[in-house]
Structure 1
């Protein structure tokens, strides 16, 4: 009886933890600025629809969400909005690739740009995107002529969801399955 209650409680907690939207402060305490190592910051993070990107930056910088071509060229031609308030929250409402740049002259070229991949959920992949195997084991289809992004650090091909800068791995699901089998 106690084991059944424990397993039900674990399943309940796992369900709740997988439904919580997360706020990611871009660049952590360094914020959105020149000299911030954004590729290292985003490594291992699993961005999901419903999460938010929080951009904190000093006045004089800007933020624009752009398309892939404008990201590569460091232009804001495709941007619907450019923000310059010093604090901007971008809700991640659609799966796929998202691109952000600073539109101040030469800032994007100096590395003030961010490309992320947003997943629909922890078990599905964004449409039209080449992705590593997501949590839960479903496999994304790779369109011809495309390549997979670099897997997260540590050799794992499963993105991790990060809360308060502490990674949470899919290992808990394996532990829950093992507990269930032990019943």
Structure 2
């Protein structure tokens, strides 16, 4: 997850909405920041409209959720746990209808065009899973970020595409080392 700063400040991200004028957007953005104590629109793909839905549905007090896992489960964005004997059981989990989850899924579907860390991770998910699962996984990532911002009252700091590429390369090297050890080989850096 990207690093969080200590002091919350409103982002300089351009605010666009087809429903409101620029002045209305700015006023809503400032009011949301004052009410929540953090700027949720600093997270890529989350706009003022999504932040409004989140503020209306979950509020500012997340003390009823002991962890981000509980929060994501309440939203219906947690991965399914219907597994028995190492195999997935047929059928999906319980259907949870939640406006906050729907807003996060909409924001996640917009992540494909984002040029930052979240966009890169979403595009990587799209290569290995179907679109609906990738959107749900990205919405889960966004929900964890929202939980951290609201509980720690720290501002979001984007790590960028370089951080994603470095993590991806590190993951690939570790996988190659594991595979070489399993086959009885030892890799030597060139």
| Alignment TM-score > 0.5, same fold | no
Q: Which has the higher strand share?
A: 1
Which protein, 1 or 2, shows the higher relative CO under an 8 Å CA cutoff with sep ≥ 6? 2
What range is the shorter-chain TM-score in?
under 0.3
After TM superposition, the score normalised by the length of structure 1 is 0.25
Return the TM-score normalized by structure 2.
Answer: 0.24
Greater per-residue helix proportion? 2
